[in-house]
Amino acid sequence: MLDKTPMQALAERARAVLPAGGFGNFDPSVFIRAGKGSRVWDEDGREYVDYLIGSGPMLLGHGHPEVLDAVAEQLPKGMTFFANNAPGIELAEEICRAVPCAEQLRFLTSGGEADMYAMRLARAFTGRDKILKFEGGYHGMSAEAQMSLAPTRLVNFPQAVPDSAGIPEAVRAEMLIAPFNDPDYLEDLLREHGDQIAGIIVEPLQRIIPPAPGFLQAVRDLCDRYGIVLIFDEVVTGFRFAYGGAQEAYGVTPDLCTLGKIIGGGFPLAAVAGRKAILDHFDKAIVGADRWLMMLGTLSGNPVAAVAGLKTMEVLRRDGAYDRLNANGARLMAMFEGHLSAAGVAHRIIGHPTLFDVVFTEREVRNYRDVQAADAGKNAKFNAVLRENGVFKSPGKVYPSLALTEADFVLTEAAIARAAEAIA
């Protein structure tokens, strides 16, 4: 009998102590041992160019030396205090300078928490109960967010479909679902329900689907008309699309936004930011006990994550950083386009140079249902061949980073060529 590989042995141990053998995030058969720069190594010793980058936070690459130095300087001073600290205040100041909607913010530990509090803030501010989200939009793991994220049963809008067991029916009743990139449907829906809706939460780039020209501004205008709080979920796009996030890139300012990933420099940190009048609901002295929104978090604003985020943001402010990031992404997009077209494979390259993927379809991709109609089998095979040839990525996203080298591009293009041939 052949000996188990290190990853096979770890998978066996994981199945004994973890449901489904994993953390719930990624392929549980994969165990990453180390990352440096643009590369990661698994426990079997295989090396990959990393386009997962921790699901987005490692925009500078793994183990950036300046980030490591900042963290090493902070660690002897303390890892967390459950109290205000100077690095957290400095980070809050920088986020408020950078992000158009951010007059104030509150720190949390995860983007999902930030989304949950953003929806709760909208309810507290408006005194209304209903939340509207777009089908296929990802906003964390709260009960509200787990509505029509990835429905396998497509129902008529605006009915919500729970994505998880354990969610009360009462939550479903307070959620309305609309198709992304359809302002006409949204306007019709708000004519009927606009005075009941506290907030509309939207990813400015929904997973990898770009907003149609004018769509985000139409949502902004409708929110203004009906007194609805507009929430941009920028956990992924914040400090990635531009230093001020997607709201800077698209020129549409929400009332609230949620941030995560990059602002913690690879450590757990997130924030909900926006208009002071809405954030005031975290301050009992201003709004009173009846309108106060309680918020606690053991690690919220911890100084280690704060210094890592501050250094990451400092690097991103340097001349040419975003030009280089966009150029890296555009070069990768051209590789995918060129080799898949040459192989005669029907496909669309969807997204933004800093966050995109291939969808195997001939139709235009404007919303969740268009992605669902694509060829999932080709997608799975394509990604499997990429991984076999040293490219590590999510099943549905490519995250370019600033750490990519010429050698990475050469390896990646060879892997894309092989994967395109495999599915042709």
Contact between 328 and 408 under an 8 Å Cβ cutoff? The reply is no
> Which helix (H) or strand (E) element contains residue 49?
strand 47-50
Q: Which residues carry out catalysis?
A: 138, 233, 261
Phi, psi of 359 (to 5 degrees): -120, 125
Amino acid at 81: F
Token readout for 94 is 């920088």
Task: Give the whole-angstrom CA distance, residue 351 versus residue 207.
Answer: 8
Pairing of strands 256-259, 270-274: antiparallel
Q: If you compute the radius of gyration of the chain from its CA atoms, what whole number of angstroms results?
A: 22
Task: Give the whole-angstrom CA distance, residue 282 versus residue 276.
Answer: 10
Contacting residues for 152 by C-beta, under 8 A, at least 6 apart: none
Task: Give the whole-angstrom CA distance, residue 163 versus residue 165.
Answer: 7
Pairing of strands 197-202, 47-50: unpaired
For residue 354, which of 381, 384, 322 has the smallest C-alpha distance? Answer: 322
The CA-atom distances, in angstroms, between 321 and each of 310, 400, 402 are: 15, 13, 8
The residue written with tokens 């490519």 in the block is: 398
Task: Give the whole-angstrom CA distance, residue 368 versus residue 192.
Answer: 24
> Which helix (H) or strand (E) element contains residue 309?
helix 303-316
Contact between 222 and 191 under an 8 Å Cβ cutoff? The reply is no
For residue 121, which of 361, 282, 330 has the smallest C-alpha distance? Answer: 282
Contact between 406 and 327 under an 8 Å Cβ cutoff? The reply is no
Contact between 274 and 238 under an 8 Å Cβ cutoff? The reply is no
Half-sphere exposure (Cβ direction) of 26: Cα atoms closer than 13 Å: 14
Half-sphere exposure (Cβ direction) of 120: Cα atoms closer than 13 Å: 17
Q: 211 preceded by cis ω (within 30°)?
A: no
